[in-house]
A and B are shown apart, each in its own frame.
Chain A
Amino acid sequence: MKSQGDNVANSIVAMMLAWIIPGAGHIFLGRWVRGVVIFITIGATFWSGVALGGVLTVDHRNARWWFVAQMLTGVHGIVGFYNQKQVYQTMPAVPNDAELDAMLQEKGIALADNPTDSIARAYTGVAGMLNVLCIMDALLLGLMGVQGEARLGAKPGEDTEPLEPDDTAAQAPPIQLPAASDGAPPEGSS
């Protein structure tokens, strides 16, 4: 039985992992299938958005609130932020943002006035918000002391190790059949 302190420590680790790598919090808590599904889905959603909107989909200058949501995808958002930072660093120094935006549009990089900008940022932002759900779930599961897939009907705090029906059959003691006798009737029979 884990102590309350262990649960708090586990939940914090799970929460941090879930933020840094979507799905890692669930994997840390022994929920492998859920963790992998979350990792693939959030990654695919985020990078689909970046594919639609280009490198400036993640843009802390022009879309600050979307940027906050994008950073909630952890490593995906950080890579996206790094890429857009590289773009800005390669641009020559200009006196104002309007000129910079005009240069980016000339190069075909800027998202401004592109019809895909809203849907691209929605994809990446929604990926971040979905990861918030996963982070909160990992935190709560950690606090409840859940490890592995919970048994159906199990109360919080009960043993929640994976229990597959096939495993149950495998773990059950073998049925003791009466020893074959030489035609003698079993005990208790007349």
Chain B
Amino acid sequence: MIATLFYNPVSLPADALLWLLPPLCLAVAIVYKTIRTQNIRRLWLDTALLFLYMMGGLAALMVVGYMLVR
């Protein structure tokens, strides 16, 4: 099962691909804040804030793109 998972591509519908973007943004936010944050105790709060900023920015871009296409 695991060998197949890392061997064959997963078939996903095209509209499901968009949902793979938030985990990637979360990974970027975690690594960036792990490096940049001064106080390690604030890591998860800073990461959550950056992730929300990124999601907000992407949502704004999506709205702008939608308006342009319409």
Contacts and interface: CB of A to CB of B under 8 A. Distances in A.
Interface of A: 33-34, 37-38, 41-42, 44-45, 47-48, 50-56, 83, 108-109, 111, 114-117, 119-120, 122-123, 126-127, 130, 133-134, 137, 149-150, 152
A52 B39 contact: no
A-side binding surface: helix, strand, loop or mixed?
helix
Interface of B: 5-14, 17, 20, 23-24, 27-28, 30-32, 34-35, 38-40, 43
B-side binding surface: helix, strand, loop or mixed?
helix
A149 B17 CA distance: 39
A114 B11 contact: yes
A44 B11 CA distance: 20
B32 A37 contact: no
Contact of B38 (A37, A114, A134, A152): A152
A37 B8 contact: no
